[in-house]
Amino acid sequence: ADGASVPILIIGSGYGGAVAALRLALAGQQVAVVEKGMSWSTPGSDGKVFCNMLSPDGRSFWLRTMTDQPINHFLGVPYNKSISRYTGVLDSEQFSGIRIYQGRGVGGGSLVNGGMAVTPKQQYFGSILPSVDAASMYSTYYPRANANLKVNNVDQTWFESADCYQFARTGRRTAQASGFTTTFVPNVYDFNYMKQEQANTAPRSALNAEVIYGNNYGKNSLDKTYLAAAVATGKVTITPQHVVTTVKPSGSGYSVVMNQIDTNGSTVATKTVTAQKVFFAAGSVGTSKLLVTQRATGALPNLPASVGTGWGNNGNVMVARQNQAWDPTGSLQSCIPVMGIDNWADTGGPAFAEISPFPAGLETFASLYLAITKNPNRATFSYNSTSGGVDLNWQQAWNQPSIDAAKRIFDPINAKQWTIYRTDLFGEYKTWGDDFAYHPLGGCVLNVSTDNYGRLPGYPGLYVIDGSLIPGCTTVNPFVTITALAERNIENIVANDFH
Ligand code: FDA
């Protein structure tokens, strides 16, 4: 409530915020979490909380009147659909050279992501977070994150015959035929539930084109794991539909200004809360935008000049191939990916490509991939005093190293299979999905803009605890690393900063 005073305020309820809420509560602290998006717990008139990808409505996108799918054409025809403007679960935030997809709601990105829960190979960890002790991450914090996220693996025997994974088997066969290594990828989606979907003994979710607009069943998103455990302590409140705009020193703590919004995105009330300690967990983009704004407008003028720098897209690039007629991908596809092509050891262009579903409801013979690559380019967020917003200077051409790395996998596959890239999905005649990112990382880098545990220098009691700490690349899908790093950092913060 307006004028309230709380010991700890957490901004955002994604991975970083959820870990902080649980660990602080278990340490006996009272915690208030504020979240910009909705609490996705009430079914709509169709009896479901979320809509699917084939018939999107207002619940799909954050304040848009048209969907903004990553795949925006099909057979050359524009593919997006009109929707009503609503605080939907998936945001595509447009910057000048890239649009960045993010989850909006209690649970953050866990509501919309593919659930792929990948722990990077330890040999690459030094390149991901050079200031962090790898041994303790792999002995303690990665296992802790995996257990609390409820990560599980597909039954490999079932996988070999399940209709819904024909696309993954075709992706594997064509990759292996060119000598590439494929690997099963763990997930937070409950694979026992998925078996029931395939057998038609439970309502379908992953098998009903549900993922980027939310899963009605099966997925262990954060609201079912970390956040449920946090709330069960009795010490955590989560307040949705509140957007934090200002954080500035006040007395011995900080005053935090937030706008309460309705489902049209309009402000219905502005509130000021005082907090002794504030955790920024608004995600790479959300936290970076907040911090560069506070520095530029004089709310937190002494934040380091490095805040806003070091942003990368995890080397994301998407591409599709058209298979031969004897290589179908299936009309029924699970939206939960379970396989990747691991070419990170290729020093000429490291890449890890997830074999992605393309749930069109009919046979397309298309293999779709989201490649994570080693792209050296890094961008900077800056406050724009004319617009009052925040710009990001990433340029689309900076994705060329990612395209080059992806081609090292898919050119040989096409050559061996006598197949071609599809050019009808990312525009009218466009091979590469190189204008968007699913994996924003960085902007407030650990041990550069913060100390080695996320404390902001010069402002005791201010912390960063989300993907903005990671400098641009995790070599695989990022949320397990974001969670494990948050576990490591909060343990140190609880031990040293609370008496
Ligand atoms: P996260 O973005 O999760 O949470 C931040 C929260 O803060 C959001 O809920 C936001 O609404 C809120 N917020 C922002 N600004 C605020 C403000 N001013 N006031 C209040 N609240 C505010 N990763 C992976 O490992 N495996 C995968 O399979 C996928 N797949 C995937 C698919 C899609 C479609 C997307 C968009 C993303 C993925 N990802 C993924 C990426 C993954 O979801 C992402 O890296 C994490 O969610 C980031 O976690 P954070 O805690 O950093 O922020």
- Does residue 338 contact residue 353 with C-beta atoms inside 8 Å? no
What region, left, alpha or beta, does residue 348 occupy, with left being phi > 0 and alpha being psi -120 to 50 degrees? alpha
- Residue-level pLDDT at 79: 85
How many Cα atoms occupy the beta-carbon half-sphere of 242 within 13 Å?
25
**Ligand 1 pocket check for 467: Cβ under 6 Å:** yes
pLDDT at 117: 98
Distance 145 CA to ligand 1 centre (A): 16
Catalogue all structural domains in the chain, each as residue range(s) with its CATH number.
Answer: 73-81+149-217+314-437 (3.30.410.10)
pLDDT value at residue 74? 86
The string of DSSP letters for 175-199 reads HHHTT--EEE--BSB-HHHHHHHHT
Q: Which residues are catalytic?
A: 354, 439
Using the atom order of ligand 1, give the atom closest to the CA of residue 486.
51
Q: Structure tokens of 352?
A: 């890890």
> Could you read off the pLDDT of 243-265 as tens digits, one per residue?
999 999 999 999 999 999 999 99
Q: Which residue has the tokens 């050359």?
A: 76
Taking residues 370-380, report their average pLDDT. Answer: 98
Q: Does ligand 1 have an atom closer than 6 angstroms to the CB of 102?
A: yes
Buried b (16+ CB within 10 A) or exposed e, 400-414: ebbbebbbbbbeebb
For residue 288, the CA-to-ligand 1 centroid distance in Å is 13
pLDDT of residue 499: 74
Q: How long is the chain? A: 499
Amino acid at 497: D
Distance 100 CA to ligand 1 centre (A): 10
Please report the atom of ligand 1 found closest to the CA of residue 104.
Answer: 11
Task: Answer whether 114 contacts ligand 1 (Cβ < 6 A).
Answer: yes
Can you tell me which atom of ligand 1 is nearest the CA of 15?
A: 51
Which atom of ligand 1 approaches the CA of 212 most closely?
34
- Is ligand 1 within 6 A of the CB of residue 103? yes
**Atom 26 (ligand 1) nearest CA:** 116
**Choice between 83 and 2, residue whose per-residue pLDDT is larger:** 83
| Ligand 1 atom 30 nearest Cα | 113
CA gap 12, 256 in Å, rounded: 13
- The torsion angle over the Cα atoms of residues 62, 65, 70 and 71, rounded to 10 degrees, is 150
Residue showing tokens 């912390």: 463
485 three-state secondary structure: helix
- With a 6 Å cutoff on the Cβ, whether 104 touches ligand 1 is yes
Question: What average pLDDT is seen over the chain?
Answer: 97
Angstrom distance (rounded) from CA 204 to CA 220:
15
Compute, in angstroms, the gap from residue 14 CA to the centroid of ligand 1: 6
Q: What is the pLDDT of residue 2?
A: 87
466 lines ligand 1 (CB under 6 A): yes
ipTM above 0.85, yes or no: yes
Q: Which residues contact 67 (CB under 8 A, 6 or more apart)?
A: 56, 60, 61, 80, 81, 83
Task: Determine whether the shortest distance from the Cβ of 469 to ligand 1 is under 6 A.
Answer: no
DSSP H stretches of helix in 190-282: 191-198, 226-232
Which residues, in sequence order, are bridge partners of residue 200?
Answer: none
pLDDT at 77: 84
- Distance (Å) of CA 49 to CA 45, 71, 210, 263, 386: 9, 24, 11, 15, 39
Beta strands in 12-142 (DSSP E): 31-34, 73-74, 77-78, 90-94, 99-103
| Cα 294 to Cα 302: distance, rounded to the nearest angstrom | 10
- Report how far ligand 1's centroid is from the alpha carbon of 311 (Å): 15
